[in-house]
Amino acid sequence: MKHDWVKIPIIAKELGVSTKTIYNWISAGKLFQPRRGYVSQIEAYEVWLHQQSLRSFYSYFQSVQGIIRGPNGRFKSKKKEVEEKGE
């Protein structure tokens, strides 16, 4: 059986993410590293697609419900921000 293993820098470039992102996926258990420096091309695409769908999901709710990211990177409501400013 032929394996679809590719080097991490190559798949990172194909997906448009950094190599650090690929290693983060490996550390989080989202992506399997069969041997050092290599990942499955198919699995990497699946993880990338899943991440893209999550990004679309968050963007949708941010726009619909008026949610923004605060300076600490956490989500918060625009309504709360207006109340905090006293407007």
- C-beta atoms surrounding 40 within 10 Å: 18
**Token couple for 72:** 């600490």
- pTM given for the model: 0.59
pLDDT digits (tens, 9 = 90+) for 19-69: 999 999 999 998 988 889 899 888 898 888 888 877 666 666 566 666 777
Helical H runs in the chain? 8-15, 19-27, 41-65, 78-85
- Gyration radius from the chain CA atoms: 18
